[in-house]
Structure 1
Amino acid sequence: MSFLEKLQNQILIGDGAMGTLLYSYGTDCCFEELNLSQPRQIQNIHKAYIDAGADVIQTNTYAANYLKLQRYGLEDYVKEMNSAAVRNAKKAAQNNAYVLGTIGGNRGVKPDSVSLEELKRSFREQLYCLLLEGVDGLLLETFYDLEELETILTIARKETKLPIIAQVSLQEPGILQNQTPVNEALTRLEGLGADVIGLNCRLGPHHMLLALEQIELPKHAFLSAYPNASLPAYTDGKFHYEGDADYFRQSAQSFRTQGVRLLGGCCGTTPEHIRAFASELKNNVPVTEKVVKLKPKKIVVEPSAVKREFAPLQEIVKERPSVIVELDPPRKLDTTKFFEGAKALKEAGIDSITLADNSLATVRISNESLGYLVKQELGMRPLIHIACRDRNIIGLQSHLMGLHTLGLNDVLAITGDPARVGDFPGASSVYDVSSFELIQMIKQLNEGLSFSGKDLGQKTDFSIAAAFNPNVRSLEKAVKRLEKKVHFGADYFISQPIFSEEKLMEVYEHTKHLEAPIYIGLMPLLNSKNAEFLHNEVPGIKIADSIRERMALLNDNPLQAVRVGIDITKSLIDAALDLFNGIYLITPFLRYELTAELAVYARQRAAELRGSIYAENTI
């Protein structure tokens, strides 16, 4: 009797985790490679699940695709691993269990981390390998991104008439990370030809059952569920699961009541968990009717309850010249000079003081705390830089929620210098997301949705700046990055410092089509050593030979070198204001008196160029 024919009249038991067992045995490598190097071990795990009562087992191929295998340098072994995996499963099954070819999701919680074209190519290669080995069906599992699953399900349905199980994974019970209700998502999968639709991973029995309460019985397909054993724990450098197999036995009938016909286990489950399911449900008659108890409510997100005190910078700079100044948080705990500088810059009439996020991976006082004090005590607008380097996705969202709560609405999203360039070279760089994805996620917060798609109850009101490095070989490619950042949601740009009028004109010609305004970065040089260091060692900064030569002539006159540095920057301000409304001054080594002087100069030049209205206290 075929797999689907059996599901017509009885509940089938699936297997449990493969990777969790291998990890618990001390194996911490590419699990799919073990299909080749340790086939007996893989076969024994399959057999253990069959002996526990599994009617259906899945091949050890969850990550056996090009995209995931390239992390280990094994991308050329896709065919060998998938073929061996099917042979191992069949040898263990010996016609006593159905063998499903497993294909896992790639995108996770970062929908744009892999393009659809890359996904299609990688999927097709793995799909054909599994089909050629004669699997009994396909299991598409652990898909957080519905677009990815719909895309590959469409391809699979065209390529085979074998049964296809399509399972989504949820961050929150009842809703996908893109806010699609789970019932709607599964209905769409059924419409694309999936024979079995359901849930797996992330949620344990309790929360998975809550999600299933919102799912109607499919019209033509069947329901599946593969819950995790529990939430994972982390002890002594290792992950482990503490879910009790008896807890699975107690929940088995509840899964049946919710209409599940294929029931297995995901992360943390063992043969004992599967034995518990089988002892309760083996060959049970499935339900044909159920009451959907909970319907997901339409989310109505309230506007931000935190009043914005300053107009967004992108609006200001579109209307009139604007000057913002970067003043780095100090490396030591004494903030006296920092606040002296902030006061001087306020008197200079700047629109915002920008605070870097541990620039050059060097530890400084939190820019969030200093930004809040600048706003509260001085009444200035802080612009908070946010680097992807130091926080994972959890920390990034928490940080942004904190900024919102403090009324700090202006942010600059950057990838951040790698940790190894800073004063803790042994520290790790996180980089869960890039600046592109961070921009997109902040925009999602502005819609009242968390990074995982959960309702936040309020919309944030962030104005998002993005970084622009014009000091590259190909300005065309750099501008393409700007266009991509605009697509992801950037409101305006702040550039790395520019040190020549020729570069200013080149930037203008390449960016004048953009609607998002640009603040042009300018930085006064202090001496020749400063210029050489910036030019040769700091990523994203290049200084014209003529300027470096000019500074080199003043090695014996440091005061004159500073004045020349100021004069160079003033001439660049003149040139920049002919082309752009935004000036971004970078303060070197807390020498705030320099950027204060330059800010006043910029105000005066703007007044001369565009009228006396710009000579008022605030530019």
Structure 2
Amino acid sequence: MSGGALRPHAHSPTLRELLDDDQVHVFDGAIGTLLYGRGVFVNVCYDALAVEEPERVSAIHREYVAAGAEVLETNTFGANPVKLSAFGLADRTEELNRAAARLAVEAADGRARVVGAVGPLGIRIEPWGPTSVEEARALFRRQMDALFEGGVDGLLLETFADPHEVEVALEAARASAGDRPVLVQITVGEDGRTAYGADAARELARLESLGADAVGLNCSVGPAVLLDVLEEAAERVRVPLLAQPNAGLPRTVRDRKMYMASPDYMARYARRFADVGVRFVGGCCGTTPEHVARIAHTVRGLHPRHASTSVRVGVEHAPHTPVPLAERSSLGAALAAGIPVKTVELLPPHGWNAGPMVEAARACAAAGVTAVTLVDSPRGPSRMATAAASTLVQRDAGIEAIMHYTCRDRNMMGMLSDLLGAAALGVDNLLLVSGDPPVQGPYPDATAVFDIDAIGLTNVAVGLNRGVDPGGAALSAPTRFVVAVAVNPGAVDQERERSRFRWKAEAGADVAITQPVFDVESLRRFLDATSAHPLPVLVGVWPFLSLRNAEFLAHEVPGVAVPESTLERMRVAQERGPDAARAEGIAIAREVRAEVESIPRVAGVHVSAPQGDVAAALAVLEDPAP
């Protein structure tokens, strides 16, 4: 109608009534991509626009109502304290969510119901990261409670990939919502599985069992992939199903991301969603009021197909029994039997020629070393990947490798792929560390990822040993990893280091390897303080090659404590010449080895080969003459 007053309208059914009836209903579409398309720069906090530019957001809500949307989402996908903190807005969490909720309710004007949109926190929570479940629940509750204060009819948890995080979010939502509806959507890749590898249909059934009033999929991919998953989910799930796909996968057109799926294409798939039993359809990234209008026109009055009543509970095969430690590798066998372990740390080559590394490993094998550790991209030039280096050493040098692996350079899915690849290559010993930021060396602009830390990755590896991936999907067979973790008895913040050690032990690590130890009393104190978690320890031993080498460790390597008496011994030796200094450094390392091997829980030593001096490392491991 143009001109004159608007025609009076009847108020829409409640959200609970929409969930309980037997018709297909329409959600709205994207907000973020529309705001971007209308001139809002990407460096702006979109979740703050309800306060800073409310008319922009309100106009989009009204357009979706006019297009036929029966359910609106608040513009609050990232309005949790963690994501808002990137804009310095964490302390305004409640204000922004209340404002966004009120704006959507006002725009709906009784013609549509409003759900509070809640997305992932943007951080890893235990067991994959340092944020506790209790902390995560509290962060979610701040947003959720404010959304209800603003007048939403229910909550929509959307675009979750981590099965554990969405479970925590759902627990928080149920506590916040009371008897009001909580709808949950996860996101999948082109293979129809979550980013953590979980079977999506099984995951939706699990979320139903945890108390979701409706479950479904949104974002990431276009409607075709979602249709396949939801058709399977319809056989497992009794609560209403939701589908909010992107308008296809974005394409780059003149430096701009464009979503190519037309309104007619999306409407055809809306009909197909209804045909397989989906009750709520709408859109995500790239969709517009035009898409929603075509969807609403197509599904109006439709009744979804009813799924089979023989619901299959979404549980995959139970995890495998882990392979006993003694059967995983020679290192595992030595640890299980209490045989003293001797390991030597080697550097992979800077380049592709593995010859010198293999020769060094052969020398270690001839000297009776249990295994060699291949260091993952230390400071300085880039080096061969440790999975490849470990494979070459095991194949060509006849000695087991321990694959040193840092969390710094890969996201979680990349790490998972690397670990599965290592298992396929027969590399069964891991040393998992978080890694140092790449602030040194010839690549000053290199960036770190730190998607999860070493505690989280230990949980991943131990799960793989049980035959289950982070998404809960069963593997065809369990991995056989001996999982080593790093520990620093000389850390400045002892409380933090002991806590992290405890969490690594609780995650299921098999052995800990220390930073180089020169002050044996600090090691004793650390082991006494962590006696409640008696993980066996390989003590790091470092043979100094010179006074400069000793001073470098003492003054430039965080967490390494070198007693002044040891430095004085190196000063005196250096005055006699470089050979004398090297010999003194080896003698000091041999003394440390002899002392630590008598300490309970010490399962052996882990000797460094500074500057590639493998002969010095092997000299430390020589047993004294009878």
The question of a shared fold, defined as TM-score above 0.5 by the shorter chain, is answered with yes
Aligned residue identity for 2:478: K
Number of the residue aligned with 1:440: 459
1:226 to 226, 244, 258: 244
- Give the total of aligned pairs: 602
Match of 2:548 among 529, 532, 541: 529
Q: Distance in 2 between matches of 1:108 and 1:151?
A: 13
Q: Give the corresponding residue for 1:563.
A: 583
SS at match of 2:431: strand
The within-5 A match list for 1:356-505 is: 356-360=375-379, 362-505=381-524
Aligned to 2:81: 66
**Whole-Å separation in 1 of the counterparts to 2:617 and 2:518:** 15
Residue 615 of structure 1: aligned partner: none
CA distance in 2, matches of 1:374, 1:191: 49
- CA–CA distance in structure 2, aligned partners of residues 310 and 216 of structure 1: 41
* Cα distance in 1 for residues equivalent to 2:222 and 2:391: 40
Alignment partner for residue 616 of structure 2, among 587, 594, 612?
A: 594
Can you list the C-alpha shifts for 1:461-488, whole angstroms capped at 9, x where unaligned? 1111100111113545423322210222
Quote how far apart the aligned CAs of 1:456 are. Answer: 4.0
> Displacement, 1:427?
0.5
Q: Kindly provide the amino acid, as one letter, of the partner of residue 555 in structure 2.
A: N
Would you say the 8 A contact 2:330–2:370 is kept in 1? no
Contact 1:375-1:381 at 8 Å conserved across structures: yes
Deviation at 1:545, TM superposition (A): 1.4
Match of 1:279 in 2: 297
Between 1:190-199 and 1:349-358, the stretch displaced more is 190-199
Q: 1:294 to 1:205 in 2, by over 3 A?
A: farther
User: Structure 1 CA distance, aligned partners of 2:59 and 2:606?
Assistant: 64
Cα offset, 1:436, TM superposition: 0.9
Partner of 1:94: 109
- Aligned to 2:607, which of 572, 585, 599? 585
Q: How does 1:96-111 map to 2 (within 5 A)?
A: 96-106=111-121
Distance 1:204 1:338, change over 3 A: same
What's the secondary structure of 2:388's corresponding residue? helix
The one of 260, 263, 269 aligned to 1:245:
263
Q: Which residue of 581, 589, 595 maps to 1:575? A: 595
Q: What's the CA shift string for 1:18-55, capped at 9, x where partnerless?
A: 22333444621321022222222212222232233212
Q: CA deviation at 1:268?
A: 3.1
Alpha-carbon separation, structure 1, partners of 2:401 and 2:188 = 33
3-state DSSP of counterpart to 1:280: helix
Return 5+ residue gaps in structure 1 as ranges. 609-619
Cα gap change, 1:514/1:109 in structure 2, threshold over 3 Å: closer, same or farther? closer
| In structure 2, distance between residues paired with 1:454 and 1:219 | 18
CA contact (8 A) 1:146 1:168 kept: no
How much does 1:351 deviate? 0.4
Q: Residues 429-455 of structure 1: CA distance to partner in whole angstroms, max 9, x if unpaired? A: 111111111111122322334444444
State the partner residue of 1:16: 29
TM-score (ref. length: structure 1): 0.88
C-alpha distance in 2 between matches for 1:253 and 1:108: 37
SS at match of 2:232: coil
Is the 2:196–2:413 contact (alpha carbons within 8 Å) kept by the matching residues of 1? no
What is the CA-CA distance between 1:4 and the residue it aligns to? 3.0
Segment drifting more, 165-174 vs 575-584: 165-174
The residue that corresponds to 1:613 in the other structure is none
Return 5+ residue gaps in structure 2 as ranges: 1-12
Cα pair distance change 1:420/1:177, threshold 3 Å: closer
> For 1:475-523, what per-residue CA distance to the aligned partner results, in whole angstroms no more than 9, with x for missing partners?
4542332221022221111110001232343344334543421100000
Computed over aligned residues only, the root mean square deviation of the Cα atoms, in angstroms, reads 3.3
Give the alignment partner of residue 4 of structure 1, picking from 16, 22, 32: 16
Match of 2:152 among 135, 151, 156: 135
Q: 1:586 to 1:180 in 2, by over 3 A?
A: closer
The residue identity in structure 2 corresponding to 1:388 is C
Question: What amino acid is aligned across from residue 27 of structure 1 in structure 2?
Answer: F
Cα distance in 2 between the residues matched to 1:119 and 1:549: 50
Aligned-pair identity (%): 33
**1:498 partner letter:** V
Distance 1:222 1:289 in 2: 11
Letter in 2 for 1:115: S
1:54 aligns with 2:69: yes
Q: Distance in 2 between matches of 1:449 and 1:240?
A: 37
2:3 is aligned to none
Q: Is the 8 A contact 1:176 1:453 kept in 2?
A: no
Q: Could you tell me how far 1:296 is from its partner in structure 2?
A: 6.4
Q: Which amino acid aligns with 1:275?
A: A
